[in-house]
Amino acid sequence: MSAREPLYEGKAKIIFKGPEDGTLIQYFKDDATAFNAQKKDVITGKGVLNNHISEHIMLRLANAGITTHFIERMNDREQLIRALEIIPVEVVVRNVAAGSVCPRLGLTEGEPLPSTLIEFCLKDDALGDPIIAREHILAFGWASAAEFDVIVEQTNRINALLADIFAAIDLRLIDFKLEFGRLPDGTVILADEISPDNCRLWQVGTDEKMDKDRFRRDLGGLTEAYQEIARRLGLEVPQQG
């Protein structure tokens, strides 16, 4: 890891100062956490795989007209990104029922939803990322009404694009999480990462889990699943460890 002073360390990534004003470096760790960090482990090679997979997805989204914070991948662990003021809201998109929505609404995993759901959670680990409504976002000023509309519009476009990208490699996009932030001029753009750490991806035909649920549910074979996704996307990712 670089000797630079971290500006922020999260559960799976570290943010360092970038080489120029308005830039940051996003470093992908091998740490895996689940259930609000009550379950933790180190999975050798996960960070490198997510760095490469997220680079690929962000570039595909950019090609399709989505503005993102991604500038370039610097090496196997780090990306150069645009500095943003992060909006403290996690945007969860659900195409099929899985994970926390099942006990919350009495749904069965794998059940189709009547329509795609967009949910919002406050990005606050100490509070366990509670689910919130548009009203909370506006009332507490986490985003303006105009920003909220941009987030929802971009999220719907991203969902359609990601569903196609993954369908082309025989994966069903079950659900995923996005984060957004503001550029200094106020433009709201896509931040964070898009990888099997924050998407649920099931093999077409068998519904085999090809995502972080392999860790959350002690299924094993997480790096093998992430490597398989990278291979299907046509990426060459050096193996670690």
- What is the rounded end-to-end Cα distance, in angstroms, of the chain? 15
| Other CB atoms within 10 Å distance of the CB of residue 58 | 22
Give me the half-sphere count of Cα atoms (radius 13 Å) on the Cβ side of residue 190.
25
Size of the residue set binding ligand UDP (CB under 6 A) = 13
Give the type of residue at 58: M
Q: Given candidates 73, 200, 209, 214, which one binds ligand UDP under the rule CB under 6 A?
A: 200
- Shortest separation between residue 113's beta carbon and ligand UDP, angstroms: 12
Q: Which is nearer to ligand UDP, 16 or 176 (CB)?
A: 176
Structure tokens at 219: 């299924």
CA distance 89 to 80: 23
- Please give the residues from 203 up to 222 whose contact with ligand UDP meets the rule CB under 6 A: 212
* Shortest Cβ 90–ligand UDP spacing (Å): 6
According to CB under 6 A, which one of 96, 161, 199, 237 is a site residue for ligand UDP?
199
Binding positions for ligand UDP, 53-112, rule CB under 6 A: 90, 92, 99-101
Binding status of residue 120 toward ligand UDP by CB under 6 A: no
- CB contact set of 203 (below 8 Å; sequence gap of 6+): 170, 171, 172, 210
Dig out the tokens for 99 from the structure: 């994970």
Least distance (Å) from ligand UDP to the CB of residue 21?
A: 29
**Sole residue written with tokens 């996704």:** 229
C-beta of 17 vs 136, nearer to ligand UDP? 136
> How far is the C-alpha of 208 from the C-alpha of 79, rounded, in Å?
30
Distance CA(25)–CA(31), nearest Å, equals: 18
Shortest distance in whole angstroms from residue 140 CB to ligand UDP: 19
Q: Site mask, ligand UDP, residues 168-197, x = CB under 6 A?
A: -------xxx--------------------
Interface contacts to ligand UDP, rule CB under 6 A: 90, 92, 99-101, 129, 175-177, 198-200, 212
